[in-house]
Chains A and B, each alone.
Chain A
């Protein structure tokens, strides 16, 4: 007897890229959570402003030190907390808002859906980066929850489009009509019958969204409107070293590598999830094991 979950779990296991990317992301999260334990120094401690200013990587400081004689390794480790939590939370916020909007539009149908999608088109026509810069420039210094809010509320359009398309597809299935015919309320139909059937694309969109936000947040930090000291993200650290990359390459290199590796891991994971959670492929597995 082959059950649906076992099959799905089996596909996760055999997918090597997912394993590698997933393991890497788990590792990064562990590092972020355990930062105070792992990091050799405090990220803000100016160790010796005279002797340890801008020293290259050494045994004592594997990632070197920066202009203020702070340990770059410790800063990158603590930066993981900021980068990952800002990206993760705002992607989650985007997904929640986008899913709710997409579900509502797709299930409502008719004129309501048309108006909601027109509104979405209007919102999509505003360049995200410019909007973010404008809002953040007015909101300075922005606290981290504020940053999450602003990033999250400008990133849900794509998700809601995906969800709306999936809902339209799923709600033409007879089981949605059947659920209504058996007395389920609209809310129940949407949450219990539609949402689980559109979960795959939502998970993929969220994963890719995290990667997107990490890059975006780094860019905003470069423009001086992102994460600020003492909550330095990888982006913040990178661009403190970016002013003199030839002399103090280590200050920029290590947070840069952290950004690239993390974004790559999330993108790879997202793409692999897209393959794994494809409902058509799930369906083909279903028909193979039936009858």
Chain B
């Protein structure tokens, strides 16, 4: 039980400098989202605690299967059976606990107070409706205007997200627009009701690099204009570096490191974060292959004992196998779920991670393949 107490609200994350006086916009406490599958209980999100302040942008980083998207969907309570948000989880937003409000109140939050931008703009748009219709639909769903007013808002929103001749484009179907344009439409849908929080789930992953930069620029610009908070989910630390103020690193359904973006890039503590950073390509670096973290994310039905990263970690010792690390406070709001905080001298003892020794590139023994299947079934359960 001791490990659960570590991330107490009092020792919470660093606040953005200006918003120190006000309560956070969103406060997530001990969020657990489990999927009860045939192959066991998948603990996709397992005790996640964090806050987002008003007008703040924070990044949620990790490999596929770490629980980032499930966290996002849990905030909107879009988890469908066999998945469910476990009792004891808290999602405090604008003075209410979203885990307890009824479905009708939740629908009023979705799209109006918390909106979501999806990864793949082609599939996130309905192929049989014009983009104007789809933006207007959000207004209509929330009863915020007549058909004509909703259409007017849609056209206005298309202009806001930088689509040229918006009145004509509003009559286009999604397939008639380019990928970047579509993502702008998806962003327009998310922002049309002027929500307090936008969850952007890998908003640039499906786009090519030049368009990525434009979309990130657009998000930043809109945030300044509308004062929206953004939870940016990504596996790209490059995106994080130029966009967010704080970073949460997730692994195995848990937060493993939480720091301001400067702190994280300067003094990453958790070996998993180190691995992610060293896997980033760097300009001017002459290497044949990019560095990788050996192994794959284990299936959420069978997280390893102790530290969930121990089998892939180059520093792991016997304590990591038996004792689940708490979130250690490193000062300045920097937290890390790694026993190295307790025994820093161990950082000198680098060795081959267990997966590399045991199973070569295949990951945890018999784990890699099962993990993939599990992720697939998990996605199905969500959608």
Contact = CB atoms under 8 A, between A and B. Distances in A.
Interface of A: 1-4, 109-111, 171-185, 188, 192-193, 196-197, 282-283, 286-287, 289-291
Contacts, number: 100
Interface in B109-130: 109-112, 115-116, 118-120, 123-129
23 contacts: A3-B173, A109-B81, A174-B123, A175-B124, A175-B127, A177-B73, A177-B118, A178-B116, A178-B125, A180-B78, A180-B110, A182-B110, A182-B190, A183-B109, A183-B112, A184-B141, A185-B141, A193-B126, A196-B129, A282-B127, A286-B173, A289-B176, A290-B175
Interface in B173-188: 173, 175-179, 186
B142 to A, nearest CB: 6
A182 B125 contact: no
Interface in B130-185: 137-138, 141-142, 173, 175-179
B153 to A, nearest CB: 14
Nearest to B119: A174
A92 to B, nearest CB: 22
A74 B81 CA distance: 60
Nearest to A192: B137
Interface in B52-72: none
B383 A176 contact: yes
A85 to B, nearest CB: 31
B175 A177 contact: no
B116 A183 contact: no
Interface string B71-82: 001001010111
Contacts of A1: 176
B270 to A, nearest CB: 31
A181 B116 contact: yes
Contact of B76 (A171, A181, A287): A181
B126 A175 contact: yes
B107 A287 contact: no
A174 B124 contact: yes
A109 B186 CA distance: 27
Nearest to A285: B175
B189 interface: yes
Given A174-B118, A178-B116, A181-B111, A289 B175 contact: yes
Contact of B128 (A2, A176, A183, A197): A197
Contact of A183 (B110, B123, B179, B382): B110
B175 A287 contact: yes
Residue from B116, B125, B137, B175 having most chain A Cβ neighbours under 10 A: B175
A285 to B, nearest CB: 8
Nearest to B122: A174
Nearest to A291: B178
A178 B78 CA distance: 10
B317 to A, nearest CB: 42
B128 A182 contact: no
Contacts of A174: 118-120, 123-124, 383
Given A174-B118, A197-B127, 10 more contacts: A3-B176, A110-B80, A177-B383, A181-B118, A183-B110, A183-B111, A184-B137, A286-B175, A291-B178, A291-B179
B107 A185 contact: yes
Contacts of B128: 196-197
Contacts of B82: 110
A212 B88 CA distance: 56
Given A289-B176, A290-B175, A179 B116 contact: no
B280 interface: no
Contacts of A111: 81
Contacts of B138: 182-183
A173 B112 CA distance: 22
Given A109-B81, A173-B123, A183 B108 contact: yes
Contacts of B5: none
Contacts of A176: 383
A290 B127 CA distance: 13
A188 B141 contact: yes
B173 A4 contact: yes
Contacts of A193: 126
A130 B126 CA distance: 43
A109 B80 contact: yes
A185 to B, nearest CB: 6
Residue from A183, A197, A287 having most chain B Cβ neighbours under 10 A: A183
B176 A290 contact: yes
A291 B115 CA distance: 28
B92 to A, nearest CB: 20
Interface in B6-46: none
Contacts of B177: 290
Contacts of A197: 126-128
A104 B123 CA distance: 22
Interface string B250-278: 00000000000000000000000000000
Contacts of A3: 173, 176
Nearest to B189: A182
A182 B110 CA distance: 5
B264 to A, nearest CB: 29
A202 B305 CA distance: 51
The 10 closest A-B pairs by CB, nearest first: A286-B175, A182-B111, A183-B111, A183-B110, A174-B123, A181-B116, A174-B124, A175-B126, A196-B128, A178-B124
Residue from A175, A177, A179, A192 having most chain B Cβ neighbours under 10 A: A175
A197 B126 CA distance: 8
Nearest to A4: B173
A162 to B, nearest CB: 18
Given A110-B81, A177-B382, A197-B126, A183 B118 contact: no
